[in-house]
A and B are shown apart, each in its own frame.
Chain A
Amino acid sequence: MVDGVGNMMIPVRCFTCGAVIGDKWEEFLRRVRAGEHPGKVLDDLGVKRYCCRRMLLSHADVIEDVIKFHELFEKRAR
């Protein structure tokens, strides 16, 4: 959720309409990285409204980046 460091992880639901989108994120990411057109993937996943579409399209998953720092600190502490 939004917690001061940006969107750490994909929100579970669309902020506007409340439809579940969290379950679609990993497939969306995988297919877009594989080179598919994001719009087509969203159509395929059944994300129809633009409120839900922007949730996936504009999301940047920063948790992986934040975890790097954690791992670094852990290493130093040891």
Chain B
Amino acid sequence: MELKLLKHTDNTLVFEIRGEGHTFCQLLQGALLKNPAVEMAGYDIPHPQVAHPVFTLRVREGRPEEALKAAVEELRKQLEEFRVKFAESWGRSC
């Protein structure tokens, strides 16, 4: 994964996530859109055979970096919770 910054203003962040695809971008988009401060979050894969999605994020208030950080943090928590709960129910139904 390589990041390339394309545009950075007070409320907008456009960057390229080189080497990733829908798996990661969709996950990130889903988490960002849950945040009411996010006005727009989306990505575009300009060419289907080149894994260079362009992610666009615009916020109503605050900084876009903060929104990203919060989304990543939430996803991490969610994944860990999923992993723990899955292992639990797997163990119990053994």
Are any A and B Cβ atoms less than 8 Å apart in their complex?
no
B residues bordering A, Cβ < 8 Å?
none
